[in-house]
Structure 1
Amino acid sequence: MAKWIKTWTEDGWRAEVLEWIDMACEAYSLSRTGEPENASNSIRAKHLRVPTDAGKLHFKAVAPGQFFEPPLTAAAATLSPERLVMPLAIDPLRGWMLSPDYGSTLDELATTPILWERALGALGSLQREVVDSEEVLFDAGLQILDPAWIPEEFNNALTLHASLPSDHPLGIPARDADHAFSALKDIEEACEQLIAGPIPLSLEHGSFDRRRVFAPTEEDSVPRILNLGDAHWAHPFASLARPIERMRIDFRCGPEDPRIMAAIGTYLAAWADYGTPDQLYSLVAPALRISPLHTHETWLQLLANADEAALLRWAPMVLEPLSSLAHATA
């Protein structure tokens, strides 16, 4: 168990959380009406549902490696208030966030192609809206992963893991590092295509799927996007990697299924001032090619403060993206 997860189970920690929640509620003239209920928990975060006299609120405590998420969420929601959830209160030093409830997320509903189209359209529109806000989001804690730097990041990652002792959970044998390094040329070519393309860097979500979107309550309402803990300032099209994977599962189909292509088309339409969906589609493949490096950086940062037991359990999440890059070239 990671040490921060152990902290989340302690009575003293919960008492501090309740005091903080009550102070936040008082600032909005709200009153807590009962004990918070445990919601989903993981190595990334602890979630609580908080009953109040104005409905439920959501409390989230993030792992130390993602303490940037509350201030980033507040900053991004200020830039795009209709597409994100503005927290009612944050504590950046403790990684806490209290947010309003907007109903069900898409994973609680029967998935349909139309819902995926609306979700990806909302993501593209959000990213398009914040392209000029790099400095604001960087100051809030967002890490930059420019495609111009990705080949060097890949090389540095392999060097790091190969230099660790063979019995270290994050260590890899030199021969495996050499095999993975064979993907460098392919990665360089993908990055060159992205750099040459018209799309600027933006908020790359990192883990966008049905759980990350509140279901729109009306036909013309905008879906609100959640969970920026895996985000980077990077090529935005890399955000399509997880949705395409999830849609293949949802629809039991290949990546070029018309339902998936329609959702991608809706996403690309949000970038209409940079080109038509047909013109921009050629950038999807290179963006997907480098997306595992984004995942690797997220998990490496998440496990930076993990104990040995957590490293043993979660090390594959760090190493698998590097392996997938090598296998994609083979």
Structure 2
Amino acid sequence: MTNTELWSSAAWLASATAWLDERLAAAGRERTGPVTQPHLRLWGTVLTAPTADGPVWLKAPGPENAFEVPLYQLLTEVAPDWILRPIAADADRGWVLLPDGGRPLGEQVSEGELPAALAEVLPRYAELQREVARHVGELLSFGLADMRPAALPGAFDEALDAVGLYLGRHATDDDRAALRRMAGERATVEAWCERLATSAVPASLDHHDLHVWNVLMSESGRLQFYDWGDSVIAHPFTTMLVTLGFLRSQYGMADDDPRLLGPRDAYLEAFGDLGPRDELVTELELACRVGKVARTLVWLRALRPQGFENAGAFQRAPLESLLAVVAASHLDLRG
């Protein structure tokens, strides 16, 4: 049985609904309407239900992303101002019950306002990363992948082999040739990692999918970061691969577009005590490049258990992410 078959089964839904009701009752709240399932993906599902105090959300990540539940619990302790605080969590089941945090930032500001909105948000995320950097050992114990610079050359080798296995009989001759070319880039990747390993910026939590649809804004204007299921431990600047890469791709920006550089510089300012700005910019660009190795493995973590045939529109995402390591731009998300 695939994850999606399990999560859509009557037995699973009944069990999850019962747990939701129990946890609400323990928190002094009561469900006022039916439970619905707005999200059902290969890597996780979400249920939602109305209450007198607003909707609640039960998130059930897949087994390979189950670290998200204890991660929420840790973030509640060390960075409570920037995250949704769980109503309840069950690490054994891999379930977390969350309050409503408002609508995504991307729905609430216009296209032209997004860069300025990100420039306001990203220093707060940087503060979170600096707080969480003291807890890397705990994060690793939860099962988050180690994608720190010293581990990435090995991760690059793993990604090459794993993408080939994942594609299997679906790989074309062009795919196999592209993987051979990528294998020839190992020395370059290793050199980038060695440079990053000398950084004064400590490793921390990389959300790895931080874009304007994973930042929630309440009616009062409170901003909170959401959806930690792709997280890894890495050089913190790796986060900017998706944050800035998504913005660049969505709106067709060049790497030197001021609308891109503004959010980048606002983020880096929070690390200004750790090195000259030019060095931090260089580290960010390298972190984004090697972060594509992590992105490849994150895609594989989500898709491989279900197989290539069940991956739908995401079938080639692992290969494309790996080929992007040596793309023209450090912010290219696909090769």
Q: What's the TM-score once normalised by structure 2's chain length?
A: 0.88
Cα distance change of structure 1 residues 175 and 249 upon mapping to structure 2, 3 Å threshold: closer
**Are residues 1:191 and 2:193 paired?**
yes
In 2, the alpha carbon distance for the partners of 1:313 and 1:254 equals 26
SS of match in other structure, 2:37: strand
**1:156 aligned residue (155, 158, 178):** 158
* Structure 2 partner of 1:65: 64
* Structure 2 partner of 1:104: 103
Cα distance change of structure 1 residues 72 and 176 upon mapping to structure 2, 3 Å threshold: same
CA distances 1:8-47 after superposition (whole Å, capped 9, x unpaired): 2211111111100011001111111110233233222212
Q: How does 1:293-312 map to 2 (within 5 A)?
A: 293-307=293-307, 309-310=309-310
**Are residues 1:94 and 2:96 paired?**
no
- Please list every run of 5 or more consecutive structure 2 residues that lacks an aligned counterpart in the other structure: 330-334
Q: Hey, which of these two has a bigger chunk of helix by percent? A: 2
Q: How does 1:240-279 map to 2 (within 5 A)?
A: 240-279=240-279
Cα distance change of structure 1 residues 187 and 212 upon mapping to structure 2, 3 Å threshold: same
The alignment of Structure 1 onto Structure 2 pairs a total of residues equal to: 327
SS of match in other structure, 1:296: helix
In 2, the alpha carbon distance for the partners of 1:271 and 1:31 equals 44
**2:202 aligned residue (194, 200, 203):** 200
Cα distance change of structure 1 residues 114 and 216 upon mapping to structure 2, 3 Å threshold: farther
Q: What's the TM-score once normalised by structure 1's chain length?
A: 0.90
SS of match in other structure, 1:144: strand
**Are residues 1:9 and 2:11 paired?**
no
Contact 2:205 2:232 in 1 (8 A): yes
Q: How does 1:12-27 map to 2 (within 5 A)?
A: 12-27=11-26
SS of match in other structure, 1:239: helix
* Structure 2 partner of 1:54: 53
CA distances 1:179-211 after superposition (whole Å, capped 9, x unpaired): 111221221222122112211100011111011
In 2, the alpha carbon distance for the partners of 1:198 and 1:165 equals 38
* Structure 2 partner of 1:122: 124
Cα distance change of structure 1 residues 322 and 32 upon mapping to structure 2, 3 Å threshold: same
In 2, the alpha carbon distance for the partners of 1:296 and 1:249 equals 18
RMSD (Å) for aligned C-alpha atoms: 2.6
Contact 2:69 2:91 in 1 (8 A): yes
- Please list every run of 5 or more consecutive structure 1 residues that lacks an aligned counterpart in the other structure: none
* Structure 2 partner of 1:135: 137
CA distances 1:68-96 after superposition (whole Å, capped 9, x unpaired): 11111211222111111121112223321
Cα distance change of structure 1 residues 47 and 119 upon mapping to structure 2, 3 Å threshold: same
Contact 1:170 1:311 in 2 (8 A): no
Contact 1:161 1:170 in 2 (8 A): no
* Structure 1 partner of 2:332: none
Identity of aligned residues (%): 26
Cα distance change of structure 1 residues 328 and 257 upon mapping to structure 2, 3 Å threshold: closer
Cα distance change of structure 1 residues 38 and 325 upon mapping to structure 2, 3 Å threshold: same
